[in-house]
Chain A
Amino acid sequence: MGRKLLLDKAHIEGIRYYDVYRKNGGYAAAEKVLKNMSPDQVTEEVKKSGLRGRGGAGFPTGLKWSFLAKPEGVPRYLVCNADESEPGTFKDRYLMEFLPHLLIEGLLISSFALGANRTYIYIRGEYAWIPDILEEAIKDAHKNGWLGKNIQGSGFDLDIYVQRGAGAYICGEETALIESLEGKRGNPRIKPPFPAVKGLWQCPTVVNNVETLAAVVPIINIGGDEYAKIGIGKSTGTKLISACGNLNKPGVYEIDMTISVEEFIYSEEYCGGIPDGKRLKACIPGGSSVPILPANLLLKTAKGEQRMMTYESLNDGGFPTGSMMGSGGFIVLDEDQCVVRHTLSLARFYHHESCGQCSPCREGTGWMKRVLQNIENGKGKMSDIDLLWDIQRKIEGNTICPLGDAAAWPVAAAIRHFRDEFEWHVNNPEEAQRHNFGLAHYADPLPVVAAAAAV
């Protein structure tokens, strides 16, 4: 059994409510911080923990906090990014629905560290029932003296507000989120200035993911050094993985970052393998934006080492043979899935979600969608594959925000690893309408791994 720090109490009946949460050790970390620690000491613990942003970028949280400008007389803000929209990702939803007080406690400690007296949770609009849960938790926290004025006699004031978005993937990008919170379209801002200097209403702002802020609670409870001992290398602590696609037991799992990808997919403790005894074809391990990997490269790196569920190991080999931890949205494709069709579905998503500000992304995502539509519908030409490659290269790196990259990478990786499947669609347009390519002409087969997978 791996160590659990976030979901260790998730099974306790009524943990959603204040009394039960408090009785089970809740708000102990907040108490410790408000009574015995200075804001800088809190930041120091977070730095020591090695915690990295859990939203997708993996940037060290303590370092991000230390960039926050602190000019005299200007308010500072903490914004919790709960705009979870990356396809394959549904972990923050789980935390907010079942452990709202863990998030509130994390927000309290983090706001104290940053000197923020007004903190916003920006939640995606479609999670329409969750603001009620959060607002009830906020109300109870107020009632019990964990929010409001002079919290627990510390002299620190804090109010937390929930803001619903209204359906826009782009608002998960921190500057787009800030724009949206200001009541505008979610168009990302040009950086610099970074939010740490000019963020919400032009004031210094830190934007952190839900899971990141929740993780601050166990870090304070056990200490940054202890937290850093869990995991491998720079992948410290635990990570929530939302597993989906073709799996026997999809869902949200907390892993300490010491297990292998193979164990995660096949062991009974986690996803329990693939339904109907089917074989693994491919996986997108970190949310739809990260490169898809064929089974052989997913389970073993190009060097032949076992691939682990860590930031470094998932990235091993870079984009040619690796992928990324990303948001932890773990999407599994079984042998009967069509990579072209799946890539088209993601291309349509990015086209729909492009804010339209930068031409390469606005136009390029539409082209990629249409070219993929042709290939999928039996109207593709061989030159379309090179055209797709060309378009994605012209998007990547040429946009204000990373949505352009996020749209380009899935297409690039699909062609890189499954080019023969695209070619098969072009050469066999009618057959491609009737059945999927399967594993028969597998892009880069390593039968050893497939055999192990079948056990």
Chain B
Amino acid sequence: MAVQFSEEKLNKVKEIIARYPEGKQKSALIPVLHLAQESFGGWLSAETMDYVAALLQITPIEVYEVATFYSMYNLKPVGKYLFEVCQTGPCMLNGSDNIIAYIKEKLGIEAGETTADGMFTLKTVECLGACGYAPMMQLGKFYKEHLTRERVDQIIAECRAQAGN
């Protein structure tokens, strides 16, 4: 599949570029990489990055530099559902270690791995700014907070049900 934004996404790119003064379209790089990751399977391949570079009229290396710096860009394929579980201090004080261990056991994978069916990837991440509602994880666009074993079971079941539809 050739990497190519839809007409709608291309308009979005134009709208993003218009936020900056003339000639400063490089500023659009981070938002456009988010858009690319969403559009092309949840990760950034070299082909995708080269496409973004051409789109913004910058060199590919400028894109690689940025894509490798920020933790939200996935540089290899991830599962359909990415569990990003916080493990930093305040979450740790509220039992994030146990939650991470439980998710590993439940999915049969280690942090950084994807289940064989390509459904789930587990990633441990650093503070997501939800410390008062710990333990927590990011799932797609939203946060899942006040995690317990039961809540984790429920989230996994919801994902499976959604994927089944």
Give A residues with C-beta under 8 Å from B: 75, 84-90, 93, 118, 120, 124-129, 161, 163-169, 180-186, 201, 242-246, 250-252, 284, 288, 329, 331, 333, 337, 341-342, 345-346, 348-349, 352-353, 355
Contact = CB atoms under 8 A, between A and B. Distances in A.
Contact of B92 (A161, A201, A342): A342
Contacts of B56: 183
Interface of B: 19, 21, 24, 26-31, 33-34, 56, 58, 62, 65-66, 69-73, 87-90, 92-94, 125-134, 138, 140-142
A410 B82 CA distance: 31
B90 A87 contact: yes
Contacts, number: 148
Contact of B88 (A87, A128, A242): A87
A186 B73 CA distance: 14
Contact of B21 (A201, A337, A346, A355): A201
A183 B126 CA distance: 23
Nearest to A171: B70
A245 B70 contact: no
Given A125-B70, A166-B73, A185-B65, A88 B33 contact: no
Contact of B24 (A84, A87, A201, A284): A201
Given A181-B27, A183-B29, A125 B129 contact: no
A183 B28 contact: yes
Contacts of B70: 125, 165-168, 186
Nearest to A92: B129
A243 B129 contact: no
Contacts of B21: 75, 118, 201
B31 A184 contact: no
Nearest to A243: B132
Given A164-B34, A185-B65, 19 more contacts: A87-B126, A88-B89, A89-B129, A93-B130, A120-B19, A163-B19, A166-B30, A166-B70, A166-B71, A166-B72, A167-B70, A167-B71, A184-B26, A201-B21, A242-B132, A245-B90, A250-B133, A342-B93, A345-B88
A26 B64 CA distance: 44
Given A244-B132, A346-B88, A331 B93 contact: yes
